[in-house]
Amino acid sequence: MKRLILGGIRSGKSRLAERFARESGLSVTYIATATVQDDAMQQRIGHHQRRRPKEWPLIEEPYRLAKQLQKEAREDRFLLVDCLTLWLTNLLLLNDETRLKQELTALQQSLPKLPGEIVLVSNETGLGVVPMGELSRRFCDEAGFLHQDLAQICDQVILTVAGLPHFLKGKPNAI
């Protein structure tokens, strides 16, 4: 099963993804896309690290997500990717349109073919005002397009608000 979990900052989306991983009974691998740019990001990463079970292997992959998923996906494995919007940010900051399109296409084309359970966590950015800055607007647009494309591919799409999952696609009991 492929799941997309969306939500705002501190909405409970990562916690929900981790619950699905624990309850799956499968071997879990955590794929983190964040890069440490400042103390605040280090603190956020530390919060996630403290909450995660120590037996879950961690793979840090800020750019080549599709390739990493292809390498790690197995029928008996649960892959938890956190988070797509940080991955997208990393790609946008490379300022390489060709690379951005290649990585987005690779993810969209490979995801349906991958075995096992995969949960993709991402920040929903389309519920606020249109940002004033050009890069911020571009980020929101690209994230919105990415979420729309992945929502078509995934078996289940969940919007998390205040720690509560709202199932947009797929049955709530499909764990």
126 pLDDT tier (thresholds 50, 70, 90)? confident
Q: Say if strands 164-169 and 156-161 run parallel, antiparallel, or are unpaired.
A: antiparallel
What global pTM score does this model have?
0.92
* b/e burial code for range 34-67 (CB count within 10 A of at least 16 → b): beeeeeeeeebeeebeeebeeeeeeeebbebbbe
157 pLDDT tier (thresholds 50, 70, 90)? very high
Q: What is the pLDDT of residues 108-122, one digit of tens each?
A: 999 999 999 999 999
The structural domains of the chain, ordered by start, are 2-169 (3.40.50.300)
The predicted pLDDT at position 14 comes to 94
Active-site position among 47, 48, 147, 166: 48
Q: How far apart are CA 45 and CA 39, in angstroms?
A: 10
pLDDT at 57 over 80: yes
Q: What is the pLDDT of residues 9-27, one digit of tens each?
A: 889 999 999 999 999 999 9
Q: How far apart are CA 65 and CA 87, in angstroms?
A: 8
The predicted pLDDT at position 37 comes to 75
% of the chain at pLDDT higher than 70: 93
Higher pLDDT, 53 or 122: 122
Q: Which residues pair with 118 in a beta bridge?
A: 2, 79
Q: How far apart are CA 72 and CA 70, in angstroms?
A: 6
The predicted pLDDT at position 16 comes to 96
Q: What is the mean pLDDT of residues 82-89?
A: 95
Q: What is the mean pLDDT of residues 162-167?
A: 95
Catalytic residue at 48?
A: yes
Phi and psi, residue 69, nearest 5°: -65, -40
CA angle 149, 20, 31 (to 5 degrees): 65
The predicted pLDDT at position 132 comes to 83
